[in-house]
Structure 1
């Protein structure tokens, strides 16, 4: 384990055991460097990694704060990551954007219609790995959500559609492949555009087998156990 990973894992462990909670401020970079016997530069790199995963936020002139919304394993309804002992890794989700779009793609072929909403998120599993998630639904469904806040999308979007619109996800088609990452996925994950990576696509159906949602998960290489939940 590198010094960078050691620092990141220590911070995540403090969050998981409740020593640090959402909104709490972390010690200064200098204090963390002293605690771990490393340079301030190494601490900054570790904090940047956790910031990109949405676990913490770095606020200029104020400090670094716990910001990631922790997800229970049940919130990740169709995928799990586990450590070598078979224990589910705790995940933290960060909403990057919620945008109305008119671009066409695999999502429009499946959902139909001309206007869509894309929910762009990152899901971090401590400091071990990070997923880039894109979730599409028809604009007409999004409008019916009556302007829910971005933070609402830090939990399961499928659960939100079920509770708010009575549109449960009753069936999901899943595909996993090793393919070139899109430019947006590569940029967020800090990888080169076109670099091969893990890609998982999920098509969700609701009542009367009607198409409801389209999701794509992307990641670089990882060594953790990946479990698909049926």
Structure 2
């Protein structure tokens, strides 16, 4: 890719992030006219507008938002090459980029990374929290070296190795009536209880939860939906519902 094209991609990404050509220029060490010129060249090559101007800010078009993730991934790949080249020049052991969903990155991955660094102290590790589908895509495209996610994972570009297993649990305040029980909590126990459902509709986690309630012939009483485990647990601790 030509240097000007890379600069145009960087300018595009920074304008999306910061909202103006002036702020993007400061981030990239370029003047505002230089950023505007790069953006204009990029729009000409693409054949469509990327931004609307409103009250001094550049607002991305729907086409720009569709491009952003792929541009970001491409630039991360370039940045990774630069870091690797620097490591080779300095004869460092190298860099390892790891991706995982937030719940795993903030939980089991912490001890795994600490143990790995004890064995390989010269390795520089970059831990990135991403959604499960993005984790698969980053590993398959070799933007990341390895990723972690809940099985099943199905992608032709990745190899799988089971690492740990854990049960599905309910999270509820200590004073809740179900907290004192010794037996596992089932869907029938949750009939009429306000629920905090985790995950996106149609996602693997939600499909399993929905299936358990259907099999028990219990109607869910959904109080709210959370898209990550940490938020669901925090809400349950506040007594909002059962996660």
TM-score bracket, normalised by the shorter chain, equals under 0.3
Structure with a larger share of its residues in strand: 1
**TM-score normalised to structure 2 length:** 0.26
